Structure 1
Amino acid sequence: MKKLLVLSTALTSLAFAAQADVTVMSWGGAYGAAQTEAHVKPFAAKTGIATTMTDSDNPATPIKAMVEAGNVTVDVASVEYADAIRLCDEGVLETIDPASLPAGADGTPVADDFLPGALTDCGVSTDIWATIFAYDTTKFPEGPKTAADFFDLTKFPGKRGLHKGAKAVLEFALMADGVAPADVYATLGTPEGVDKAFAKLDTIKKDVVWWEAGAQPPQLLADGEVAMTSAYNGRIFNAAIGEGKPFQIVWDAQIFENEMYVIPKGAPNKEEALQFIAYSTSTEGMQAQATQISYGPARKSANATPIMYKDGKTLMGPNVPTAPENMANALGSSFEFWVDHDAELNDRFNAWLAAN
């Protein structure tokens, strides 16, 4: 009888283990919805592991606080590339062995299938996204074409939306001022270059509406609060194609980077989190996400065949940052630069913002 009781207890423990819940923290809005449809729901259906999505304006901030407080309630988080590197260096994240990831659907080994930079010690890229700017075509039928047009309040009058922070704003200002993408970070690494970026921002400062969450730019455009705004490209695509808004993306001076899935140190369900990441960053997982939102897959095998948007009629190729025609004057965000300069440049940015 005692042996039966022990066996029953063991089986009960296994049953509870199989029911471990995985909590994924992402950015909300169209992006969080895309990951929910492409990753969270099908993973739960395939494995039987209950998986839920929770939103944050920037998941890097709360997961660091959780780890430092010793109270981690999130298993997987979607973070920007620079944050994946920084948090890994700070010991906030679990390491992820590439050997735990599946080969490409065509058999290509992991190391060869992922695009350069898509694998780090603690992160696996889910997609390549970009900060672009967009405008309301009802206000400008001919439309702005370049980053310089964004700063031209005479030719294109109206309020501008910009992200409230230094990253992707200072680079954009420099490119609008004529600095070539290849020279942006060398320029921004000098006091004169920083002054140059802020001087360009000075020209529109009084007409800027500052946004903090990714869902805000399309809403600012829809409400007529701005005539054009910087934004994450997938948010504008979703509003224009998914919701029929009269918005147009301008790809000139786009700033692109990898988005990463990471596991906070001390995640309550680490093994299940690893399973979730392996599933989501497979060829099929990346292609599934690309049917939901216009971010480029970070695996070669996922880009090998055309991907159709969920509407069944829009090809995603021309609508992702990595399309050749969209890369003509593009800048790859430098995680090395931002790991080194994030604090000082954001301090300068906040001081500039507070000044009259």
Structure 2
Amino acid sequence: MKTIFRILLGSIGFAACAAAAQAEGTVTVVSWGGLYTQVQTTSFYEPFGKATGITVKSEDWNGNLGQIRAQVDAKNVTWDVVIGDSAFAKKGCEEGFLEKIDASVTQGMENDFLPGSITDCGVASVVWGYVIGYDERKVQGKPTSVADFFDLQKFPGKRALPKRPESTLEFALMADGVPAKDVYTVLATPEGVDRAFKKLDTIKGDVVWWEAGAQPPQLLNDGEVTMAVSFAARLVGPILDDKKPFGILYDGMLYDLDTWMIPLGSPHKKEAQEFIRFASAPERLAELATRAGYAPARPSAIALVGKHPTANVDMKQYMMTNPENLTNAQRIDAQFWSDNLDDLKERFNAWLAQ
């Protein structure tokens, strides 16, 4: 009897330890930092931890795919879930350094995502966009087009641009008269690439280059620039929460799907997929949108978006999916950047160094 009792105690103890180990599990989620990650923490990370007992360890990155490649090549993967451009998910899948997403992650919700949201190696979370932000105190009149961003005489002052060819080249072409809908057709030609760099030459000496999404609103706030290409939602927070005198120009907006990816060899792949499914719930996406203006990738979530918690403003007006914001806009071409990123990045870096 004592022997049986000890065995039972041992079994119970093992089960308890296993349950504790599961409850104390972690998943490392990598995002863009700043306000975006703060709102993700409130909308995704903390609720996920309470619901599952799995702690989310948050880290930031700057969109350098080499960071994921390096971990996979070294067989020392420390990231479990990474959010990034849909082009990253496509490229990472093609080159084999991302896990395939199990069908169970989106089971039952496949028909409630915007087109192109679910791919072999990615599940979209939100629609984000590059827009032009400006300091209303420093501009005479109101900028109305991408061309105004490049017009240093009409709107004097420094400009802020992302230190990457993606979006920078597209904005240059649109400022040079190319309609948003035609920008990738033009950029796909050698003449189009030359044209983009020639346009960038006109403001190169007045550009402050940024690498992290939190920088453009900070550069505007500090008076270092008058206008900045920025992630749209990075401007919404300062405008609504901090009453900053920033304006947003949606003309020429470039938008895309921010997509969850799992690096190949993730040490917590099961938990990573569980997190992605949890964060894709309509109420989770709606909370993120209500707090920060990122448009959900699921239409059912868009219907749940309400007013900003402190400014009492309907957040649908700030979304990239708002028809008024899509007048002269273009979705970023993931295939184009998957095919051309390395070559254009090499040329862009060489141009910067000149």
Q: Which letter maps to 1:55?
A: D
Which runs of at least 4 in structure 1 moved beyond 4 Å after TM superposition?
A: none
Q: Which residue of structure 2 lines up, in the alignment, with residue 13 of structure 1? A: 18
- Give the match for residue 232 of structure 1: 231
Alpha-carbon contact 1:102-1:278 (below 8 Å) kept: no
TM-score (norm 1): 0.94
CA contact (8 A) 1:26 1:59 kept: no
CA deviation after TM superposition for structure 1 residue 304, in Å: 2.3
How far 1:21 moved relative to its partner?
0.8
The one-letter code sitting in structure 1 at the alignment partner of 2:7 is: K
How do residues 40-59 of structure 1 correspond to structure 2 at under 5 angstroms?
40-58=45-63
Which amino acid counterpart does residue 52 of structure 1 have in structure 2?
K
Cα RMSD for the two superposed structures: 1.5
The corresponding residue for 1:3 is 7
- For 1:19, the aligned partner's letter is E
Matches of 1:100 and 1:135, distance apart in 2: 40
**For residues 312-351 of structure 1, what are the alpha-carbon distances to aligned partners after superposition, in whole Å with 9 as ceiling and x for unaligned?**
6111111011100000000110000000100111111111
Query: Partners of 1:310 and 1:94 in 2: how far apart?
Result: 37
How much does 1:211 deviate? 0.8
Gaps of 5+ in 2: none
CA 211–280 in structure 1, closer or farther in 2 if over 3 Å, else same: same
Per mean C-alpha deviation after superposition, the further-off stretch among 11-20 and 271-280 is: 11-20
**Is the Cα–Cα contact under 8 Å of residues 129 and 254 in structure 2 kept in the other structure?**
yes
Contact 2:133 2:227 (8 Å CA) reproduced: yes
CA contact (8 A) 1:76 1:263 kept: yes
Report the Cα offset of residue 66 of structure 1: 1.5
Residues 59, 79 of structure 1: 8 Å contact kept: no
Distance 2:94 2:259 in 1: 15
Residue deviations 1:245-270, cap 9 Å, x none?
11111000010000011111221221
User: Structure 2 vs 1, CA of residues 302 and 25 (structure 1 numbering), >3 Å: closer, same or farther?
Assistant: same
Percent identity of paired positions between Structure 1 and Structure 2: 45
Distance 1:129 1:24 in 2: 19
> SS of 2:296's equivalent?
coil
Equivalence for 1:249: 248
The CA deviation at 1:89 is 1.6
Superposition pairs of residues 337-352 of structure 1, within 5 angstroms: 337-352=336-351
C-alpha displacement at 1:16, in angstroms?
A: 0.9
Spell out, residue by residue over 1:66-95, the C-alpha distance to the aligned partner (whole angstroms, 9 max, x if none). Answer: 222111122211111111111112221111
1:10 deviates by 4.3
Distance in 1 between the 2:244 and 2:208 partners? 20
How many Å separate the matches in 2 of 1:16 and 1:296? Answer: 36
The corresponding residue for 1:195 is 194
Superposed CA offset, 1:171-216 (max 9, x none): 1111111111221111111111011111111111111111111111
Letter in 1 for 2:31: S
Deviation at 1:99, TM superposition (A): 3.3
Instruction: State the match for 2:93 in structure 1.
Output: 88
Q: CA deviation at 1:59?
A: 6.3
**Structure 2 length normalisation: TM-score?**
0.95
Give the letter aligned to residue 245 of structure 1: K
Give secondary structure in 1 for the equivalent of 2:134.
Answer: strand
C-alpha contact 1:101 1:282 (8 A) present in aligned 2: no
Q: In 2, Cα distance between the equivalents of 1:18 and 1:89?
A: 35
Identify if the C-alpha distance between structure 1 residues 95 and 198 changes in structure 2 by more than 3 Å, giving closer, same or farther. same
Deviation at 1:292, TM superposition (A): 2.0
User: Deviations along 1:260-300, whole A, 9 cap, x unmatched?
Assistant: 11111221221111111101011111111112211111001
Greater Cα shift, 87-96 or 215-224: 87-96
Tell which deviates more after alignment, 278-287 or 249-258: 278-287
